[in-house]
Structure 1
Amino acid sequence: MTEPTAGRVVSLDAFRGLTIAAMILVNNPGSWSHVYAPLAHAAWHGWTPTDLIFPYFLFIVGVAMPFSFARRLAEGAGRGLLFRHVVRRSLILIGLGLAMRAIPDFDFADMRLYGVLQRIGLVYCAAAAIYLWGSSRVRWAVVAGLLLGYWGIMTLVPAPGSAAGDLTPDGNLAAWLDRLVMGDRLWQGTWDPEGLLSTLPAIATCLLGTFCGEWLRSGRSGGEISRRIWLAGAVLVVLGLLWDLAFPINKNLWTSSYVLFTAGTALLLFGAMYWAIDVKRLRGAWVTPLVVYGMNSIAVFVASGMFAKTLARIRVGGGDGVPLSGWLYEEAFRSWAGDYGGSLAFALAQVGFWLVLMWILHRRGIHIRI
């Protein structure tokens, strides 16, 4: 979501690229029945490394805002014009998410309307409006209000037929609201991890990223910025773990403790990458693949998702045959690496495949943005 600028923070592209590569890895196992635990989402409360990926991307969207908006404001664009551009981008993201869901059946009557890109679009639009017209204090107040308010709503307001504080998959207030609005057009039939109410704390995730972006633009030394990022990250991790005792860390509900914990770990990891890449200039061969992914993040996310859908639809042996993805897993990976090893090897092959394609685009200076 950022534009090329002089003095570009390379670590931000690398962090974004790491996040997208991780998305491709966890979204494309050879077999969903054979996934190593760290590469699968937590069943409900708790977290795995996979549960960190989506909030990291929203956090990165927030980090990029001070860079892209400052440049355009310096060029004379007004806040109203910038926000119209934000709305256009948000609608494109939402449209892409719906298109990925609709193609090729176009079964709009029963199609799930929520999704990853839809949430990114909504969060980006809301967070950008708050950033453009709100001071730093206002943004901190909004973050606090969203997190405390969401905690209060989810623990004090009962869903019809449930008790207050019921955080089970079907009994929580967010799931009830999604069923009321969408019926059974939800990811799990009765609940959805990208639902309406849980989008509110996701906005806080993005807003926390804007503070990191401002620190990067503050003019302070790289060492001082790194220390500030690490300190903030450590504080948020501790606060998230403490809040977990009362409001469990849960990606599907995007709980307030989850927001603090994931933003904290994002700061710690990004701080390390910033210190290594931009402060110490340790830009070896390990950085380039991440930057290649980061410069075409939305494009590769959409393309890889549609490619996976295509592999699942093509049948080897006719209409009653096995999906091409399953056949490739069995014949090219499971045959020599076993169930779990073959499933992981299949996913790694997908990461490598898309890296090659994105590298070709990168070498030709093609960076697809919306």
Structure 2
Amino acid sequence: MKQSQRYLALDVLRGMTIALMITVNTPGSWQYVYAPLRHASWHGCTPTDLVFPFFLFVVGVSMFFSFGKYGSTLNSESLKRLGRRTLLIFAIGLFLNSFPQWSHDFSKLRIMGVLQRIALAYGIGSLIVLSAPRKYIPFIGVGILLAYWGILAWFGGADPYSLEGNAVIPFDKAILGKQHLYTGFGIPFDPEGLLSTVPAIVTVLLGYMTGVIIKNTERVKVPGRLALYGLIAAVIGRLWGVVFPINKPLWTSSYVLYTAGLAALFLALLVFIIDIKGYKKWTSFFVVFGMNPLFIYALSGLWARTLGVLIKVETADGSVMSGSAWLYQNVFVPLAGNMNGSLLFALTHIFFFWLIGFILYKKRIFIKV
């Protein structure tokens, strides 16, 4: 059944994820972060671990409606368009990883990252949905998730889902090189690596199939239908997690189903509140983020690197602090203390980037990244 009116809930959910991504990425101090704003140490899923898959899920939903404008077919024009966008998003991610370029050791440049994963999941997901018959997409998704489970189970070590024993590390080392992997876990392991990006493609596919459900369902019945499928996916993911742990750094198959199910449930709630019941006044804050999501996210990353690396402040005792550390210690800690000051630092950034987004929104400037 054709739906002519766009769903504001999609823009709101997209904006919420960007706002939360900025919040969790820019605390005043990583030593003082409330537990819900931290990632799980390894297995498990905190509210912060929902943010990235929620964004990829919305990317998939948006893909369905966007591709519908061009006939949802793979041709020279659509291939050129999605190839250009994939390369652009990936290139911006590399630019942020290497910033500031004049002082970076490119022999140790991290190749992957959040934007790079978004680019690859979007690009490969787009190729699948534009080239494969729609009825086969769920089977393709299931096949990818089962294959990924098999790869980790068969090619991993004695504990195949551990940090040290997973199969993602040797695969990414062989393709990207040890020196180009993230080292924040204490060993070369990239939580946005190449192999673990494969199941992330399914997160996008699940979002795309959610778009199909929305399009073919009577508007008033959309929340119920999304809630049903979301609940089923979340329960299956949770049960699968007993044998294949829910894990964001590995982006396990159980994590894909669990988080996509929760995303569908949350989207169902937003559709009911915003698009069915018409409670829209509160949404404008998040819509601003949702109109230029990747641009605002990339800009926030650039600013964080500038404040944390380029800007230096000499203190009274002669020591040198980064601009972000100086602001936290001299402005936010006196205002709110260590823990709340760290949170206030992040929330201030949210407001700052919202102002930028608001100016763009008012001027009807939408930067397609």
Q: Give unmatched runs, 5+ long, in structure 2.
A: none
Aligned to 2:174: 180
Between Structure 1 and Structure 2, how many residues are aligned? 358
Q: Distance in 1 between matches of 2:5 and 2:305?
A: 39
Aligned to 1:351: 350
Range that drifts further, 110-119 or 312-321: 312-321
Aligned to 1:244: 241
Aligned to 2:290: 294
Aligned to 1:136: 134
Range that drifts further, 314-323 or 240-249: 314-323
Seq. identity, %: 42
| Equivalent residue letter for 2:289 | Y
Q: Distance in 2 between matches of 1:273 and 1:192?
A: 33
Range that drifts further, 311-320 or 7-16: 311-320
Match of 1:88 among 84, 88, 91: 84
Q: Distance in 2 between matches of 1:72 and 1:247?
A: 39
In the TM superposition, 1:1-370 aligns within 5 A as 7-73=5-71, 79-104=75-100, 105-158=103-156, 162-163=157-158, 165-181=159-175, 182-188=177-183, 189-218=187-216, 220-284=217-281, 286-313=282-309, 314-317=311-314, 320-370=319-369
* Partner-residue secondary structure (3-state), 1:184: helix
* Partner-residue secondary structure (3-state), 1:225: helix
Q: Distance in 2 between matches of 1:34 and 1:354?
A: 22
Q: Distance in 2 between matches of 1:80 and 1:264?
A: 34
Range that drifts further, 347-356 or 98-107: 98-107
List per-residue Cα deviations over 1:149-203 (Å, max 9, x = no partner). Answer: 1111111223xxx33x522112111112122332132112421101111111101
Q: Give unmatched runs, 5+ long, in structure 1.
A: none
| Equivalent residue letter for 2:211 | G
Query: CA offset at residue 79 of structure 1?
Result: 3.1
C-alpha contact (below 8 Å) 1:55/1:262 kept by paired residues: yes
Query: CA offset at residue 12 of structure 1?
Result: 0.6
C-alpha contact (below 8 Å) 1:229/1:268 kept by paired residues: yes
* Partner-residue secondary structure (3-state), 1:316: strand
Query: CA offset at residue 80 of structure 1?
Result: 3.2
TM-score, structure 2 normalization:
0.94
| Equivalent residue letter for 1:129 | L
List per-residue Cα deviations over 1:86-128 (Å, max 9, x = no partner). Answer: 0110000000000111121343211100111111111111110
Query: CA offset at residue 6 of structure 1?
Result: 6.6
List per-residue Cα deviations over 1:254-294 (Å, max 9, x = no partner). Answer: 0000000000000011111111111221111x200111000
* Partner-residue secondary structure (3-state), 1:245: coil
